[in-house]
Amino acid sequence: MKRGIKYFLAIGVTALMAACATPYAEIEGLGSMENDLQYPFEVKRQALSFGGEVAYVDEGSGDQTIILIHGLGSYLPAWKKNIPALAENYRVIALDLPGYGKSSKGAWEGSLEFFSESVIELADSLGIDQFVLGGHSMGGQITIVTALEHPERVTKLILAAPAGFETFHDGEKEWFRSVATRSLTRLAKPKTIQENVEINFYSMPDDAEFMIRDRIAMRSAADFEGYAYIISKSIVAMVDRPVFDYLNQIHQPTLVFFGEGDQLIPNRYLTGGETQKIAESGSAQIPNCTLHMVPKAGHFVHFEQSEFYNEKVKEFMGL
Amino acid sequence: MKKLLLAICLSTGVAFGQVEPAGGTSVFDKELPQDSEREFQFIAYWYSQAVSSNYYPTNDFLKGQVIGRLFGQNTTQTSAENTSLYVEQRLLPFFIYQPKLFNGRAVLRASFEIDFTWGDVAYGTGGNFGGAVSADQVNIQTQNVELEFIPFKNWTINLGLQRMFDNPYNPYRTLFDYQTQTGYRLMYWGTDASGITARYQGDYNRWKFGAWKFYENQVQENDDVSMYEVMYERDITQNWRWGGSVNYVRDRANGEGGPSILGQGLNSTLSEYNGTFRFPLGGNPYRADIFWLGSFWSRNVNYTSDRFMTTGFVKYNLGSVDTLVANENYAQRASIGGLAVNLHGGYRYGITKGDVLTVDFLYTAGDGNGINDNHYSGVMTGNNWGSPVSVWISHGAYILFPHGNVVNRFVAAVNDVSNLGYGLTGGTVNLYHDIIPNKLNAKIGAASAISNVAPPNGGFLMGVEANGRLSWAPKVYMNLELHAAYMWLGDFYDSGRVNGGNAERPVNPWTVFLGYKWLMF
């Protein structure tokens, strides 16, 4: 009798577990990233000289304009907790870089200068002469490049966990170039995608879940290959356009955020060590720079501690 | 997110390449130039260590490789007077070749082990000498020679001498550390063997089918040992994975074949070496059919979703051993039925995976009377057929359970979780701390176990171990590590049956070693 109950329980538990399924399994794949990704803002499009269009949002108004650039593999919804707050006082523009999100995919050059020129072109097309430029991670490095190449256009810099503060030697750079293949992006399974998003956070917030779901859904999109392509190009671009030695030429006021719990900077495999050291070494190069080390925040510092970020940005903007 | 790419690369192993039909933009002026994976790759793992301990084999014959249970047939004993001191070295070169003409759908992998002790013999319980002064030759073992085919999306077929691990993942595309934490944690099958495997690695579920030949012996005779397996795992929630497996070993070899003079199989001397239960079958030919039914689970193994991780399994081995009675007729000598349960958990209290507290619990059923009642109720693992096949090395202990930093010597009090068939209840607790994140890590740990059956004239307590480690990573995948462990032997070792025939409890074992690791890629 007892044995019968045991078997019954075992079969019951097995059947119950077999019936369970991760909610990710129910995600419907996208037909097209450009058309089917859903953003929490009204999305506009602008044709640029590279031959495609960039998707962007244009929210709020004010005497100053902030343009926000996302990081590697990300997209403009990563700013969704910053745009509404900042748009209360300023005009806020966030874009999908060429090849990312809802922007056109194609065999774009993908250098940091190319991305930088796309930002400048977008600003031109919108009649914006000067602007505050903010970027996250790779977007931070693009922000730095833009400020160095177009100092007359960029009035202030806001850098969230910027790439470029951490330096790599030639061998490491060559290694990055060699592993930066499209299959890195193309073959990632949902669990890998999930963990790669989660590690961006000190503690993965529920409202960041959309990043995982969108990324999983993207895999079926007709333009996903183009997304994988631009990511591989972007990695090489960051390696090929080091900025650390030029940080001292940034004379605009600069605000820098790093999460104290950033697990991606410094690179945990190649470098290791403390985020704060990287943050301080980069910030110290910039003549007019304020650094905030943010507790309980990871690499997505502007998302995870959005209230702090928004408040400090507003202070920085002179509010 | 720049750093993610490296993590992606390492965790998926895509550097080894796997083609998948490209979706993509088919507009002519937006056509993307195609790239291909690298045709040839070389990866190497270097490990060298300077070891000091108070245990060593006392048989002059046993130079070079020493594997097995402390105080076991390998003659390892502890000493209050003598201290061993040696340096040993390992290089594992991996060669990976993907012919471009197969467009990533075929991969050849070959890897070798070059092991030796400085100034000592190199490998094996006999022969294969080298590495001494004026001897350029050292032993080179072929670790893996295998082909991987990718016939369809998500499917791989591996053929040849390859990793035989007891988890559902592709061992060449999954980080080794992950594999030691999941499935059956290499506690049953964790070595290399010849065979063919097919794996489906889907988005939310995974299949593995394997057929292995442990021993061929006489090619014209039905005297082989073969293993067949099926594993399945699926994601049952965002963070939980759950799976099950069936393994079957068909043993018709009568203990013939096996590692050198030790033989293999249920009645072999290998059992005494490895610390498994040695079936007292005498010289009778035997046939064994053994199944393993198990279920395993894991949650948040990489500590990314939140701060808690857990893995574990329940596994039951059952079957029958028949011996020759007369006229080529076999009759059942003993039935088999043994349960093992493992629970493993961790809490990440800091930022990195280096700031964790882990606990590990293991229960394996024991048998007090062997097969006197025609039934063996203990656990069986691959250690019955090879040395070592089951390598549980992710528990954090050093002496009570075997440690993974190995070149030529793999010795522990519990070398096989069956614990000579006595079973055990035990576990470990480890506290890790990143002094410098991802750079300098310290660890302290403890381990303890009781035998579920007391040996003759001995007690239940096997002992308590305390250990520590300091690990510095000066460069990528390069580590300099200082390890130390001490074990207080319990009254289990009052028994001459398990303490190497000593009249009283042996001296407590200790070890200290300085290791240098470098995974080059």
Compare CB distances from B12 to A105, A192, A220 and report the shortest one's residue: A192
Give B208-228 as a DSSP string: EEEEEEEE--STTSS--EEEE
Token pair recorded at residue B455: 């040996």
Q: Are B512 and B483 in contact (CB under 8 A)?
A: yes
Q: Are B464 and B447 in contact (CB under 8 A)?
A: yes
CA–CA gap between residue A190 and residue B201 (Å, rounded) = 11
Q: Are B129 and B121 in contact (CB under 8 A)?
A: yes
CA distances A295 to A82, A275, A282, Å, are 18, 12, 19
Size of interface A-B (CB pairs under 8 A): 189
User: Does the distance separating the beta carbons of B17 and A183 come in below 8 Å?
Assistant: yes
- Nearest residue in B to A262, CA atom: B351
The SS3 of residue A87 is helix
User: Does the distance separating the beta carbons of A195 and B302 come in below 8 Å?
Assistant: yes
**Residue A293 is inside which H or E element, if any?**
strand A289-294
User: Does the distance separating the beta carbons of B8 and A192 come in below 8 Å?
Assistant: yes
Owner of token pair 């085919």: B149
| Residues from chain A contacting residue B234 (CB–CB below 8 Å) | 18, 21
Q: What digits encode the pLDDT tens for the residues B173-205?
A: 999 999 999 999 999 999 999 999 999 999 999
Nearest-neighbour CA in chain B from A276: distance (Å): 11
User: Does the distance separating the beta carbons of B35 and A182 come in below 8 Å?
Assistant: yes
- Nearest residue in A to B314, CA atom: A10
| Residues from chain B contacting residue A295 (CB–CB below 8 Å) | none
| Residues from chain A contacting residue B238 (CB–CB below 8 Å) | 22-24, 194
CA–CA gap between residue B381 and residue B389 (Å, rounded) = 8
Q: Domains in chain B and their CATH numbers?
A: 40-520 (2.40.160.100)
User: Does the distance separating the beta carbons of B203 and A190 come in below 8 Å?
Assistant: yes
Q: Are B456 and B422 in contact (CB under 8 A)?
A: no
The SS3 of residue B249 is strand
pLDDT in tens, chain B (521 residues): 333 333 433 333 333 344 444 444 455 666 677 766 678 999 999 999 999 999 999 887 766 678 899 999 889 999 999 999 999 999 999 999 999 888 889 999 999 998 888 876 544 455 555 555 655 555 678 999 999 999 999 999 999 999 999 999 999 999 999 999 999 999 999 999 999 999 999 999 999 999 999 999 889 988 999 999 999 999 999 999 999 999 999 999 998 887 677 889 999 999 998 999 999 998 789 999 999 999 999 999 999 999 999 999 999 999 999 999 988 899 999 999 999 999 999 999 999 999 999 999 999 999 999 999 999 999 999 999 998 899 999 999 999 999 998 888 889 999 999 999 999 999 999 999 999 999 999 999 999 999 999 999 999 999 999 999 999 999 989 999 999 999 999 999 999 999 999 999 999 999 999 999 999 98
pLDDT at A6 over 70: no
User: Does the distance separating the beta carbons of A190 and B31 come in below 8 Å?
Assistant: no
- Angle at CA of residue B67, ends B61 and B69, nearest 5°: 105
- Nearest residue in A to B351, CA atom: A261
User: Does the distance separating the beta carbons of B3 and A20 come in below 8 Å?
Assistant: no
User: Does the distance separating the beta carbons of A163 and B2 come in below 8 Å?
Assistant: yes
For helices B4-12 and A190-198, give the axis angle rounded to 10 degrees. 150
Torsional sign, CA A304, A308, A311, A314: negative
The SS3 of residue B435 is strand
